[in-house]
Every structure is written in structure tokens, then in C-alpha cells.
Structure 1
């Protein structure tokens, strides 16, 4: 009885202990999502390039004896750019013309012989077999004369091919051979970029390829020409991705490019929003973006109990410091802006406003 009397007060004392107080809600920076005024288009870096670029080469082999233009020179159609040593080609032309003269002499003799034999055949002075031989000799002489004439014409063209002329107006952007060098037929000597039409070239990631289509309008801005905007239109989309970057090259034709827009300038390509673009999009700071597996996600504060919910979303554009959410979020929902890697789903939080919200929205 004495032991029971001692244990009973201890048990009663143990039942009177209070549970430990619950941890206070974690303060988090969250802001109500506000829909953008309009759906933004895709914006990607690019560069200015010529629409047409041609490697210039001689159509015959030889030794370069003269070059008349250099890197960066502006050329006109028909302008002489370089010459080959014409000595060997001139000898080939002389030999071809000599063969043509011989073939022409043989043809004239065969024609005269045919005329004599035809006159004698009408008088039955020669046998039919001899007449057939004369006709055969005439046909062979005619074929040899025509072949020699074509060979002489080809040799004459090759002499002309020893002079390299520009086919179009443009700018020399590369030199692949120099004076004194022996070049093969078709070996590039210069690279000519045609003047006039310019393109803006941009590499589009596969995640944004669906928002680009042929004929789509875009606006080009060049860093070297601040405040200037140039209209463009998508004219070509690569059918396959680049093996290394896994991006698709898109070429946009620039409408009426000014002379100040130079080749190789860096540019920003702002694609117009397609008609199928979502009507409600949200621009959030990049610090708000989290992930759920392989998908982008946001931490959303539930309105009833102020607990965190991890919400998968679709991102239409990744900016320098912002992301544009196109699906998965509703206006007015509170989105966590900071510390997304320090919380967990279902955690109770206390929402506080950012001290300087403009620093996150830039």
C-alpha cells in the first residue's frame, strides 16, 4: 500500500504535463499573381547575315597571277576579281583551232569528192558500192569537223575561264587563295556576300519551336543601332535540330534593311505572339521558379489554411530575370517569390510582402 501511495502521485503529476507548443508559421515572401495585359511573344538573340553568299572559284585549274580585290572590298556585277596564267590554256586553244582547220580541210575534200561521185553516178560511171563509200567518208568528215569545232569552242571558253568575275554586286568576306598559288577547278578563291537582302538568324530551342511559323512577323533590334526597329518575317525554319546545340535555326527576311544594318551585328528577335497564344499570362521573377520532377513548378499559398502547394506550370518564355507562366496559375493566387528551395509541401506559412518588389520584376 505504501508503494502504491507513492506511485499514484507521480502518475497524476505525469498526466498534468502540457504538450510542447506548435512551431510558428514560417514567414515567406509571396505576392498575388496578376495577369499580364497581353500575351508576350518569343524573344531570342540573333545576328544579321546576308541572305545569299557565294564561294567564287575558277572553272579551270591554274596558277593565280593577279588578284584585283581584297577582303572587305565592294564589287559590282562583271567586275574582274582575279586571273590565272593563260599560257597553257592559250596553247590548248591553238591546238584545238589547228585540229579544226585540219578537220575543215578534210570535210571540204570529202564534200567535193561526194559532188564528183554524185555526178558520175547519175551517168552510171561508178559502181553503187563506191558511191556508198564516198557518202560514208563525207559523213565521217562532217562529224570530225563538228567535233573539232566544239573542242575549239571549249578551249576558247577555258581561256575566258582564266578570268574570275563577280556574278552579283556584294562584299568580299573571305579570301581562300593568294597570288602565286596553284588552284584546282572549283577551289574557292573568294567568298562573296550579295548586297541588298539581309536576314536575321536565330536559334530557337525545341521548347519554343511551336510558337514559330513560316510567315510570322517579328521585330528586329540591333545593339549597335539603339532605338531603331526593323520589321521582319520568318521565311525559313530548319527541318532538323543542330546536332550539338539541339536548336532549330530560323531565318527571317528583313524588310527594306538600311545601309547602317551591317553584316554580323548582334540583334534581338522579338517574334509576334501567335493567334493561339494564351489570353492570361503571368510574369514572375525567376527566383519563384521551382521544379516538380522534370517540370517547372511554383509554390502557391492556399487561401484557406495558408499551407504550401507545389503547382506544376507551363513556362512560355525565360527572360533574363523573369519567367512568363502561360498555364497552371490563376489571377489572385499567392505565389512564393523567394526561398523556394527551403520549404516543403503542406508546410504552414505566414505571407509577408517583399521589401522592394521592383527588384524582382525587372
Structure 2
């Protein structure tokens, strides 16, 4: 059997202490007097320290360490901005037309007031507002009984005058025969001839009276002077109208006119017959072709604008008077010109510029601009761009110079 461990405190032989007495502590002096060394107790902290060192050793040596190359390899991230193909324009030479913007209000090329030529009571109105009529159609009838009676009276008077004229002519012939034989005096011959002239004049006068009566009777029938549409009706059956009273307004809508004001300095190159492209408010999606019909040689009073009249064909009568139109007068064309969408042009303190795509990066490209082109969506570039250059065509405010970009592949 192994001996039981002793519970007594272990003592050690005294070790020599060469310190002088004045430098020794009270404890050292007491132990020196007793002839023993101080007891040393074994604390549990030593055991804890040993276990900790063992644990650190286990943790510091992993079961399998990954290769150093894999742990340190950089991860590539694509930071380029993706652009839709519609936001990119490839510059190409093209033939461009300069245009002069204009606007105005349409009116029928022919619109007249139809007035009564005679006084009387309206018997019948044959048309309504908006009716389409042809030349010679009856629009209104005025009572004509009295005028018909007057015409018959004048016709009867004409018959009487014709008979008197024949009698005077016969008497003049007899007087000449008698005068030739010496039977009748010369004075009688002169009287017969004078009477013949009077009767001839009366006959002509009566013929004129009959014609006037026929005209008065005809004027009771108000007829359309040309093909058109009734734009206003101002008379009703039973209404008494005076001579000269306006009865209708008739408009010919087969073509329309628009008077447009153009700066007098820009009216110099304009010529009759030049083409004008127009859009009409209220008819979206439709374009109309017009042509210059007249140009005022002087500016309007109180302004520096010249009036330019534009005619627009309107075969289907879809255009109406009073519609607002805007458009462009086609000016000279520019062949092989460089133009870009107006939205792609940017402005800042440095002047006009575009964002050009070069080697996958946005580059600020200064440009010099020219005149606005037809349609107003394009603007000419005098310098700064060449054919095949690619630029950002939309107003993408978040794009800046120096950004990396990539164009989305179609599909």
C-alpha cells in the first residue's frame, strides 16, 4: 500500500540571507530567527494556466487550412452603367431641311354674306345651318305676287310700244312716198320721221322696264353663288326683309387660309408656292400640307412682322374656320449634315456639349451648334462630332463625365 500523503506543512532548510539587518523585512527576520524558509502553497491558478495553454495550442492549429492563394484572390465587380440602345445615337451624315416655325388661325378661303336684293316678306327658307349646297341651289324665296303683276304690266306696255313703233314706221314710209311724188309737204315728212324716232325710243325704254321687272322678280329667289356650306342663317319664314339685309353666310371649305406672322427679316427668302407642314389643334396625329399663297411686302403696323398667307387643301372638309394651326415653312436643305437629337445636347457654364461614348467610358465632348432642323427635334452640329461617333441621346441626368458604361445587347 502506498503511504497516505502527509497533511503537515513542509519545511525547508534555511537559506542564507546576506542582506544587512536594516534591509531585511520583519518576515525575513522572524524566519531567520526560527531557522526555516517561508512556506510555499501550491495555488490552483497554475493548473488553470496549464489548461489554457493547451487549449490555445489546439485552436491555433486548424484541421485543414485553405490555400493561401484562394484566400487572398480579389473579387471582380462590374460597375459599368447599362444603357438601353434607345438611349444611344450613332452620328450619321444626312440631308437636313431648315425650317421656319409659324402659327396662325384657319379661315375658309372664300366666305361671303348673302344679302337680299329686294324688299319683301320671306315666303320660304330652303336650307339650315351647316347644310352643304351647290351653285344655283335655292336658299330662300321672297313673296313675288306684286312683282309678277308689275312684270305683266311692263310686258303689256312693251307690246303697246311695239305697236306704236310699227305704226310710226309705216307713217314715215308713206310720208316719204308722198314727198317723192310732190303730193306731201316736206314738213309732214319731217314730222313722220321724228315720230318714228320717238316711238323707237319708247320701245327701248319699255323693253328696259320689262327687263327690270324680270330682275326684280328673279331677285325674290335667293340662290347659292357657289358650292359651299351654310355658315349662318339670319332669316325665317314670315320675316320682312329690306333690300340689302344679310340673309346667309356661305363658306367654301374646299381649301383653307391661315395668316401667319413672320419676322420681316426672315420673310425675304420666302416665295409663293413654298411648302408648309402643319398640325392642327384638335386633330392629333394628322399632318397637313400647305403652300404659301401671298407675302405682305411691308411689316404690320406696330410690329416687325410680315403677314404670310398659307393655303391648305381640305377636300374632306375636316378643317374648320377658327382652328389653330402651327407648323414649319420648309427652307433650304443642307446635304451631308451632322445633326443630333435636341435632347442629347447639354448646357452648362462651359457651353454646349454632349456625352460621347469612347472605349466604354463617357467623355465630355464640346460642340458648336447650328440652326434647328425640320421638326424641331434635331439640331445641326457645326463642329465637335464626326460620323460614327456614339453619344448619349436622352436626358439622363444621373450620367456624368468619366462614368463607365455598357450598351445593353438587343434581344
- Quick check: 1:52 aligned with 2:110? yes
- TM alignment of 1:78-227, pairs within 5 A: 78-206=136-264, 208-210=266-268, 212-227=270-285
- TM alignment of 1:208-247, pairs within 5 A: 208-210=266-268, 212-243=270-301, 247=305
Are residues 206 and 276 of structure 1, via their aligned partners in 2, closer, same or farther at CA, if it must alter by over 3 Å?
A: farther
In 2, the alpha carbon distance for the partners of 1:40 and 1:121 equals: 92
Is the 8 Å Cα contact of residues 281 and 325 (structure 2) preserved in structure 1? yes
Shift of 1:181: 3.9
Is the 8 Å Cα contact of residues 273 and 292 (structure 2) preserved in structure 1? yes
In 2, the alpha carbon distance for the partners of 1:86 and 1:226 equals: 51
The superposition leaves residues 276-327 of structure 1 with CA deviations (integer Å, 9 ceiling, x where unpaired) of 99x8999989xx99xxxxxxxx9876xxxxxxxxxxxxx978xxxx99999x
In 2, the alpha carbon distance for the partners of 1:276 and 1:207 equals: 21
In 1, the alpha carbon distance for the partners of 2:398 and 2:329 equals: 28
TM-score (norm 1): 0.63
Count of aligned residue pairs for this structure pair? 284
User: In the alignment, what sits opposite 1:342?
Assistant: none
User: In the alignment, what sits opposite 1:272?
Assistant: 330
Moved more, 256-265 or 230-239: 256-265
Superposed CA RMSD? 4.3
Are residues 203 and 283 of structure 1, via their aligned partners in 2, closer, same or farther at CA, if it must alter by over 3 Å?
A: farther
In 1, the alpha carbon distance for the partners of 2:139 and 2:117 equals: 14
Provide structure 1 residue ranges, at least 5 long, that are not aligned to the other structure. 1-33, 290-297, 302-314, 333-353
TM-score (norm 2): 0.56
- Quick check: 1:356 aligned with 2:370? no
The superposition leaves residues 154-213 of structure 1 with CA deviations (integer Å, 9 ceiling, x where unpaired) of 211210111001121110112344444443434331111124233344333445433533
Are residues 215 and 72 of structure 1, via their aligned partners in 2, closer, same or farther at CA, if it must alter by over 3 Å?
A: same
In 2, the alpha carbon distance for the partners of 1:276 and 1:226 equals: 29
Moved more, 160-169 or 217-226: 217-226
- TM alignment of 1:284-323, pairs within 5 A: none
2:121 aligns with one of 54, 63, 82:
63
Is the 8 Å Cα contact of residues 106 and 323 (structure 2) preserved in structure 1? yes
SS of residue paired to 1:40: strand
Moved more, 161-170 or 261-270: 261-270
SS of residue paired to 1:126: coil
In 2, the alpha carbon distance for the partners of 1:270 and 1:103 equals: 69
Is the 8 Å Cα contact of residues 46 and 200 (structure 1) preserved in structure 2? yes
Provide structure 2 residue ranges, at least 5 long, that are not aligned to the other structure. 1-90, 352-369, 385-394, 400-411
Shift of 1:235: 0.9
The superposition leaves residues 240-263 of structure 1 with CA deviations (integer Å, 9 ceiling, x where unpaired) of 544477643322223574443444
In 1, the alpha carbon distance for the partners of 2:297 and 2:244 equals: 29
Is the 8 Å Cα contact of residues 64 and 84 (structure 1) preserved in structure 2? yes
SS of residue paired to 1:72: coil
2:308 aligns with one of 250, 256, 260:
250
In 2, the alpha carbon distance for the partners of 1:111 and 1:199 equals: 61
In 1, the alpha carbon distance for the partners of 2:196 and 2:269 equals: 72
SS of residue paired to 1:190: strand
Is the 8 Å Cα contact of residues 211 and 274 (structure 1) preserved in structure 2? no
Moved more, 145-154 or 235-244: 235-244
Moved more, 164-173 or 61-70: 61-70
Shift of 1:69: 1.2
SS of residue paired to 1:185: coil
Is the 8 Å Cα contact of residues 82 and 164 (structure 1) preserved in structure 2? yes
